[in-house]
Structure 1
Amino acid sequence: MSKAQLNVAIAIVLQQGKVLVGFREAIQHQGNKYEFPGGKVEAGESPSEACRREVFEEVGVDIQAWHDFDFIQHEYEDVIVNLHVFHAILAVELNADIQRPWRWYSRAELGELSFPKANQRLIQRLVWPNAIKISSDLNALTECSHEQLFYWRNDLDEAVQLEALADISVHELNQVIVNTQLYAKLNSIQQANVAAIHLKQQQLMNMHAEDLILGQRYVASCHDELSLQHAQRIGCDAVLLSPVHTTATHPEAKSLGWPRFAELSTAMHIPVFALGGLTPVDLSQAQEHGAYGVAGQRFF
């Protein structure tokens, strides 16, 4: 006998680096666990309409603009749940309208909470490591700790890139970030397992929300306020903001400095990685200026 299928709309609500989370009572399905806002898609409504309605009913705020975030099918013992996941940013001035038990948690805190199994993929996508190593040498991936991601930035011939990645295991790919042009050439298994898709600033500015691939994590390189806001507006997961300091690799680029970096990063609701003349030791200073983490090449 086939199991019943349940369509559920889930909302990932973001604000200043935090995520809105509630707690299920023991009498509810998957009780005594934390949850994102959401609920059953009713007859006659689309998943996005259900998402907006559920957030208004449960949380007390009406968010009209939603981005597609993911689609997850999870099979429990008694039912198959189709999760239609959306994300949006909540304006700070609406915080007073948030009802209990909903409250803000940092992304790092999400990993400490007990969510239903169907939500684990969402947690993995939302919680980023605090460091990204950038290198043109794919062999440098072996030097990365499990607390780092690895952005393979290079100008190699496409065939050479694909041949090199063919020797990388699925487990190792979970740490690797590749540019969108290279991602398009990967096989389906590789595409499903890379850590994130990278967008150069020019690529970013030519993209719209509907161009992002459902379920994939995106990180964009940004150098100014316009590109930062565009990345957030179309639904990117994170950004690399540079250069904080003048670097040997790009001496002609005007550095932001920490005051300007802080001004830009604190206005963002998605993770901002500081890049440019930094080392892992600079993480605390970067976070004091609004960064989620740090990224770099020579000193990582």
Structure 2
Amino acid sequence: MSKPVIDIAIGLLLHHGKVLVGWREAKQHQGNKYEFPGGKVESGESPEDACRREIYEEVGIGIKQWYAFDRIQHEYEDIIVYLHLFYAYVPDDLLTLIQQPWTWYHRDQLMQLNFPKANDTILQRLFWSHFIKIGDKLSEFQPHADSLFYWRVDAEQFQRDVLHTYSADDLTKLILNDEHYQQLSDDLKPLIKTLHLKQHQLMQFKKGDLELGKRYIAACHDLVALQHAEQIGCEAVFVSPIQPTQTHPHTKALGWTQLEEWSKQSQVLVFALGGLHPNDLAQAQLHGAYGIAGIRNF
């Protein structure tokens, strides 16, 4: 006997590094577990319309600007669910309208909460390490370290076949530029979860151009680029240079004050970059960054 199939629309609500989470009652399917707001897609309703409706009914706020996050199929013992995921940033003026018992959690806390099994992929994508190491040699990539690794390499030095030597779990911690990602074989592409955009690449993209199911981090050297990254659906950005660097000694450093001002004008996760050391994380977070990135000092 075939299992029933249910289409579910889920809305991931984000606010400056936090995610809105609720609790499923015992009588519900997969009860006594944490959940993201959402519900069943009704007949004749698009998944995005269902998401918008469910958020209004369950959370109490209406949000117009939504971004496609992912589509996930998961089979339980009794049913098959298709999760249609969207995300949106909650502005400050809507915070007081959010109904109880929804609660904000830092991304670091999500992996310790008991969610239904179908949410594993969502949780892995929402969690970002606070550290990103940048290097042009893949030998510097340490998959078991508490950091992501952006393999920043010239086109002529990019050797895609070496990626086959890493496990699927290892590759979840690797960041590739979109240009290099497009050169990968069909078996490798699903294993790369995070893509990088240089600023000139970023400015060529518009909302709807980003590949579904991938998370994007973009290089931003000015406020226009930072705001554009949020508008098209990038989840994180490198803001640089914060401090003077050896590689660009004549480039004016932004400084901590500028970082804080820019961070207040965007809700994407900001990774401070340029002349920083891992010990600078607390200072960066004090000025609005989520994490820090570096080359030599990392």
Q: TM-score range by the shorter chain?
A: over 0.9
Q: 1:5-20 to 2 correspondence within 5 Å?
A: 5-20=5-20
Contact 1:150-1:177 at 8 Å conserved across structures: yes
- Give 2:24's aligned amino acid: R
User: After TM superposition, where is structure 1 displaced by more than 6 Å over at least 4 residues in a row?
Assistant: none
Residue equivalent to 2:113: 113
Question: Is residue 286 of structure 1 aligned with residue 259 of structure 2?
Answer: no
TM-score, normalised by the number of residues in structure 1: 0.96
Unaligned runs of 5+ in 2: none
Percent sequence identity is 53
1:250 to 245, 248, 252: 248
The count of aligned residue pairs is 298
User: Residue 71 of structure 1 contacts residue 84 of structure 1 at CA under 8 Å; is this kept in 2?
Assistant: yes
- The CA distance in 1 between the partners of 2:207 and 2:126, in whole Å, is 18
- Indicate conservation of the 8 Å contact 2:155/2:180, yes or no: no
SS in 1 for 2:87: strand
* 1:1-300 matched pairs, under 5 angstroms: 1-142=1-142, 145-157=144-156, 160-300=158-298
Deviations 1:176-197 (Å, cap 9, x if unpaired)?
1000001011122321112410
Partner SS state of residue 157, structure 1? helix
Quote the Cα distance in structure 2 between the aligned partners of 1:284 and 1:249: 24
**Matched position secondary structure for 1:262:** helix
Shift of residue 156, structure 1, vs aligned partner: 4.1
Give, in whole Å, the separation in 2 of the partners of 1:194 and 1:232. 21
**Contact 1:14–1:270, Cα closer than 8 Å, also in 2:** no
Asked whether the 8 Å contact 2:4–2:80 carries over to 1, the reply is yes
Q: Unpaired runs of 5+ in structure 1?
A: none
Contact 1:149/1:195 (8 A) holds in 2? no
Query: Are the counterparts in 1 of residues 243 and 253 from structure 2 also a CA contact under 8 Å?
Result: yes
The one-letter amino acid of 2:197's match is L
Question: Residue 189 of structure 1 aligns to which amino acid in structure 2?
Answer: D
TM-score (norm 2): 0.97
Deviation at 1:266, TM superposition (A): 2.9
How far apart are the structure 1 equivalents of 2:288 and 2:112?
A: 22
- Give the AA of the match of 2:115: F
Contact 2:242 2:272 in 1 (8 A): yes
Q: Which amino acid aligns with 1:149?
A: L
Report the Cα offset of residue 12 of structure 1: 0.7
Separation in 2, partners of 1:45, 1:220:
34
Secondary structure of residue in 2 paired with 1:32: coil
Root-mean-square deviation (CA), in Å? 1.3
SS at match of 2:86: strand
Partners of 1:51 and 1:170 lie apart in 2 by 31
Per-residue CA deviations over 1:223-272 (Å, capped at 9, x if unaligned) read 11111111111111111111000100122221100011111123322211
